[in-house]
Amino acid sequence: MFMKSERFYDAIYAWKDYAREAGLLRALIARHKLSPGSTLLDVACGTGGHIPYLRDAFTIEGLDLDPAMIAIAQARYPGTRFHHGNMIDFDLGRRFDAVVCLFSSIGYTRTADRLEQAVATMARHVLPGGVLAIEPFFEPSAWTQGDRPNANFVDQPDLKIARMIRWRVEDSVAAADFHYLVATSEGIEHFSERHELGLFTDEEIRQAFKSSGLTLIHDAEGLMGRGLYLGVRPL
C-alpha cells in the first residue's frame, strides 16, 4: 500500500475533484439518513481530501491504517480527531450517523471474507437510522487494464514524479508494483510499493451489506463513476 509515497499522495491525485464528490456524498446521505445527528467517520481517510468539503455539515473523525497518512491529515486539520486502525477489525467504542469508505479503499480487503468482515465492522459503528457508504473498486467484468502499462505524471516547479504501473489479475485480485521516480530539490529517488486490490462482484458486496443487517441502496454512478453502495441501519 502507500507505505513510501504518502508525502506525494496529494500531488499524484491532484486530479480528484474532492469538492464535487463531497457535494454528491452529502446529498446522498441527506436523502437516506434517518438518524438526527451529524457525526461522520471517514474510514481509510488518507490525507483527508474530502474533510474540508464535509466539515460544515458533519462533525468528522478519520481512521486510517497508515500512520504517515494520519500525520499529514492531522497536521492539515488539527481540530479533527484521527484514529489508527484497520478497516477489517477496528473498534472505536461508539457509533456515528454516517460512516464512509471512499476512493475504492475497500478493494484493499482483497478477499470476499475480509470484505464481509470490513463491512460488518463499519456497520457496527453506524447508529440506528445512520448510513454506511462504500465506494467500490471494479468488478471483474469491468476490469479493462489487462496487461497494459499505466502511468501518472506530476509536473510542478519543485516536484516531478513519474509513476509506472503494470497490473496483473489472479484469483480476482488485481496486483501491481507501483514504481516511482521522484525528483525534488534534494535529488532524485526511485522506490516501489506493492498494491493488491480485490475485484469484488456486485453480488459479493450486496451479500456483505445483507449480512451486516443494513438496508442496501445502490447508486450506479456514485461519486466518480464507480458506483456507491449505501446501507441504512433500521431504526
Q: Is the domain of 156 the same as that of 222?
A: no
CATH number, residue 117? 3.40.50.150
Q: Which of 60, 80, 81, 87 is nearest to 1 (CA)?
A: 87
Q: Is the domain of 39 the same as that of 149?
A: no
Radius of gyration of the CA atoms of the chain, in A: 18
C-beta neighbour count of 40 within 10 angstroms: 26
Helices (H), the chain: 9-12, 18-32, 67-76, 112-123, 202-211
The pLDDT of residue 10 is 97
Judge contact between 210 and 216, C-beta under 8 A: yes
Which residues of the chain are modeled with pLDDT < 70? none
147: domain range? 141-198
Residue listed under C-alpha cell 445512520: 130
| Number of domains comprising the chain | 2
CATH number, residue 193? 2.20.130.10
Q: Which of 225, 37, 26, 1 is nearest to 133 (CA)?
A: 26
- Rounded-to-integer distance, Cα 135 and Cα 6, Å: 21
The whole model's pTM is what?
0.96
Q: pLDDT for 90-141, tens place per residue?
A: 999 999 999 999 999 999 999 999 999 999 999 999 999 999 999 999 999 9
